[in-house]
Amino acid sequence: GLLLFSNHPEDHFAIPMAMVARIERIKASEIKVVGGQNILVYRGASLPILRLEQNISALYPETEEQNLFVIIFKIQDREIGLV
């Protein structure tokens, strides 16, 4: 199956569910910028966070949301989040 999501009402994306470890809801204020990298302190560790619009040709969200959903992937033995 696929996980369908959007970053903007006119942008739609899909990710194979097999790649998704879990989805978490966080507050936007929990994401910090450290050395130019978005980081979420999560479960006692620093989780690197990618934002679609900063990494691919995606539209920016229309409004800055207070609450965000983070799709967490496990790649090799590390986790990474996608807002």
- CA dist., res. 27 & res. 40, Å (int): 10
- CA dist., res. 17 & res. 14, Å (int): 9
24 in Cβ contact with 37 (< 8 Å): no
For 24-63, the pLDDT digits (tens) are 999 989 999 999 899 998 878 899 998 876 566 665 555 6
Q: Which amino acid is at 37?
A: Q
- CA dist., res. 46 & res. 15, Å (int): 23
Q: What is the pTM of this model?
A: 0.76
Q: How confident is the model at residue 20 (pLDDT cuts 50, 70, 90)?
A: very high
